[in-house]
Amino acid sequence: MYVEETVSLPLMEIATVNFNSKIKRVSGFPEILFAKSDKKFIQRKGNTMYILPGYTTHYEENGAIYVSSKLLQNKVMLTEPDIQEEFRTIVKSGGCPEISTPLTKFLHEQELLLNNEEIRTAVAEVKNLLNNTLMLTIMPTEGCNFRCPYCYEVHRAVSMFRDTLDRIQEYITEQASRFPNIHISWFGGEPTLCKDVILETNALVQELQEKHQFHFTSSMTTNGYLLDAKNFQEYYAAGITDYQITLDGWGHDKIRPHVSGGGTLQTILDNLVLLASLDAERYPFHITLRRNILANDMDFTWYDHLYDLFGNDKRFFMLVVPVGDWGGKTVKALDLQKKESKKELILAHKAYIDKIGMQWGKQDEVPFSNVCYASYPYGFVFRPNGKIEKCTVALDHPKNLVGTVDPDKGVILDEEANRLWSGSDLKSECSTCPSLLSCLNLACRKQLVVDGRTEGGCPYDARLAIK
């Protein structure tokens, strides 16, 4: 039996293959449920271990063992007892030293059992897909109407000059025909203070999309204070469908006050309630409600309140991040969670969020979902002063600077400096990591390029400390 199937992952397509003519059947051998690509790996002899790549999954159900690949989307079913026992031995042993049995040959052909070199080759092809995306973060202003003590930005009262914006828009126009995917992220400061810049730029990209037929997405990180229903509908029409808004629990007004000193929580909640009232079919937005937490914060009642407001609306998601020393002076007076226990604290919050039925905003299993925007080869941060940088958490660091917007010459990039942010080899432990496809060892290049860490540490875990 065979199944002829076309399957896909974001940014990639796997070709349809008829495996009835390509795979020699062995009596009682695994059944192919979904086909894989035509690519072949050469078996190598010597001191090589063949392992199940981190992007494979396996489970037992109704007397059968199912093995599948999140990369190729192929899936096989093992039914014979002897074959099942051999597979369990491979799993228990962490792999096998050679491809010599019918099972290992079959799994190798299906690319479900590979050595480290083969895994690196497969992942390298996936990484090349990042070249298909122009990933721009635009900061129209560094001014902000909030004064949060943990914020690392200086909040200079500076907004983007007209000639800087013109050069950025010209750059987008020039690049539009090159990329299958273009993403514009709006950041600040507080971006909604520059509504006209946002609407004008996104309208330009939408016009270019009609001409060049690329896939266009847009997002915004905002405090939500000015995101009333009228403004939101204008942003949505301009293509901005994904938002991150921070609500810091019952103590929000103290930790995220308005520049005037007043509270901000109720205004934001009122705005969000109005957005929730918008028709879900017409406005299928994605809003991540982020909560920044301090040391030993175990008050989960805030999530009960959010559930009462938005728990039945599948457009709202939760994200919890421990406050870190991201820079600045005022953050040093806060009670910060120790680095070694941050992950444990997040998991405790996530467990409660899962328990009450709210959605978690981080989709760790989706390919590229944990690849930082700064790791994209064509991912750039445009600041209002004309600097072009990579990481918004390392603003003004010399190694973060990769170019400038010149009023006369336009966008000038330092290609050598930029390559430091996107080149990353897999570590040995990456090969079997379940987050391999979502991370690609590109979750946080800041720790290497800016912080100078050359050994140890998983960039995926490190990202918890810098968000």
Indicate whether 88 and 141 sit together in one domain: no
- Taking the CA atoms of residue 121, residue 126, residue 131 and residue 132 in that order, the dihedral angle to the nearest 10 degrees is 140
* Listed residue (83, 43, 82) closest to 67, CA to CA: 83
Q: Residue 318 and residue 361: Cα distance in Å, rounded?
A: 5
Give the dihedral sign, CA 94/96/101/103: positive
The pLDDT value recorded for residue 461 is 61
**Does residue 120 lie within any of the structural domains?**
no
Backbone angles phi, psi at 452, to 5 degrees: 75, 20
Q: Residue 245 and residue 247: Cα distance in Å, rounded?
A: 7
Task: Identify the band that residue 1 occupies on the pLDDT scale cut at 50, 70 and 90.
Answer: very low
* Listed residue (432, 433, 427) closest to 456, CA to CA: 427
Indicate whether 43 and 163 sit together in one domain: no
Indicate whether 96 and 244 sit together in one domain: no
For residue 160, the domain's CATH number is: 3.20.20.70
Q: Look at 90-94, 105-109, 118-122, 457-461 and tell me which has the smallest mean pLDDT.
A: 457-461
Q: Is the pLDDT of residue 444 over 60?
A: yes
Indicate whether 430 and 458 sit together in one domain: yes
pLDDT tens column, 207-241: 999 999 999 999 999 999 999 999 999 999 999 99
Neighbours of 82 (CB within 10 A): 10
**Amino acid, res. 66:** Y
Q: Residue 54 and residue 177: Cα distance in Å, rounded?
A: 35
**Does residue 123 lie within any of the structural domains?**
no
Indicate whether 449 and 305 sit together in one domain: yes
What are the structure tokens assigned to 6, written together?
A: 């076309």
**Does residue 119 lie within any of the structural domains?**
no
Q: Tell me if the bond preceding 189 is cis, omega within 30° of 0.
A: yes
Indicate whether 285 and 400 sit together in one domain: yes
Indicate whether 43 and 160 sit together in one domain: no
pLDDT tens column, 265-299: 999 999 999 999 999 999 999 999 999 999 989 99
Mean pLDDT value of segment 350-355: 96
Indicate whether 153 and 14 sit together in one domain: no
- In which domain, by residue range, is 103 found? 7-114
Q: Is the pLDDT of residue 204 over 70?
A: yes
CB 457 within 8 A of CB 447: yes
Considering the chain, what percentage of its residues have pLDDT values greater than 90? Answer: 72
CB 342 within 8 A of CB 465: yes
pLDDT tens column, 48-67: 899 999 999 999 999 999 99
H helical segments located in 10-161 = 81-93, 102-109, 116-128
Indicate whether 56 and 23 sit together in one domain: yes
What are the structure tokens assigned to 381, written together?
A: 């941060």
- Structural domains counted in the chain: 2
CB 463 within 8 A of CB 443: yes
pLDDT tens column, 292-338: 999 989 999 999 999 999 999 999 999 999 998 888 888 888 988 88
CB 446 within 8 A of CB 391: yes
**Does residue 346 lie within any of the structural domains?**
yes
The pLDDT value recorded for residue 459 is 61
Q: Which of 114, 145, 170 is the last residue of a domain?
A: 114
Q: Residue 62 and residue 2: Cα distance in Å, rounded?
A: 20
CB 189 within 8 A of CB 153: yes
Indicate whether 104 and 230 sit together in one domain: no
**Does residue 375 lie within any of the structural domains?**
yes
What are the structure tokens assigned to 183, written together?
A: 């993403």
**Does residue 264 lie within any of the structural domains?**
yes
Query: Could you tell me what percentage of the chain is helix, strand and coil, using 3-state DSSP and rounding each to the nearest 5?
Result: 35, 20, 45
* Listed residue (239, 291, 241) closest to 268, CA to CA: 291
